[in-house]
Amino acid sequence: MRPTLALRGVQVFQGLLDRGSQNAILGEIRNIVVKAPLFSPKTPSGKPMSVQMTSAGNFGWVSDKSGYRYAPNHPNGTVWPEIPSSVHQIWDKVSGSGRRLECCLVNLYRDGAKMGMHQDRNEAEFGEPVVSVSLGDDALFRIGNLTRGGPTESIWLKSGDVVVMGGDARLVYHGVDKTRAGSSTLLNGGGRINLTLRVVT
């Protein structure tokens, strides 16, 4: 399958998920949140992150004074729920990977939440891509370089868009500067959910 846009090697599949598919996945994400409630992580320095998050799969991503890492359990001690089959299907469709998806990180953006420029470096295998799924309000996604700093480019991601960071773009710095409140009616109460799909081991 070919992306509709490529920006600094990052592939963007615009409108890959129609509204019916988005609603179906959202229902499955709600089931994940019932089993593994959203929590507000802190950076290792103790600063609270503006997003809320949870995970599904063999591993979940967590952050606290012990650092950024993958963990087999939710901070409350429960095992992460299984990744929905619909999310596995997205991974199989766009990732180009022969590996089984191991982690689905769920980030909820509300009330001005954003994500600073960062690399995804906690995985053991950088040869596997990172796939990002947008649901809800538009998000201004910024793409940088393989080292911090320098010129960047940005694109508004809409609900149903899917991004793949792989190959030479696997370790580019990236982030979300802001969301456009009210641009989607998908989520009750507004906001944006981002699913980040990864192979961890």
Give the burial string for 137-172 (b: 16+ CB within 10 Å, else e).
Answer: bbbebbbbeeeeeeebeebebbbbbbbbbbeebbeb
Partners of residue 106 on adjacent β-strands: 54, 195
Tell me which architecture the domain covering 5-36+84-198 has in CATH. Answer: Sandwich (2.60)
The confidence score (pLDDT) of residue 183 equals: 97
Closest-CA residue to 91 (of 104, 109, 110, 80): 104
**Residues above pLDDT 70, as percent of the chain:** 100
Report pLDDT digits (tens) over 67-125.
889 999 999 999 999 999 999 999 999 999 999 999 999 999 998 999 999 999 999 98
pTM: 0.95
**Residue for token pair 């998050």:** 53
The residue count for the chain: 201
Report pLDDT digits (tens) over 33-62.
999 999 999 888 888 899 999 999 999 999
Tokens of 67: 């650092």
Name the residue ranges covered by the structural domains of the chain: 5-36+84-198
Are the C-beta atoms of residues 147 and 122 closer than 8 Å to each other?
no
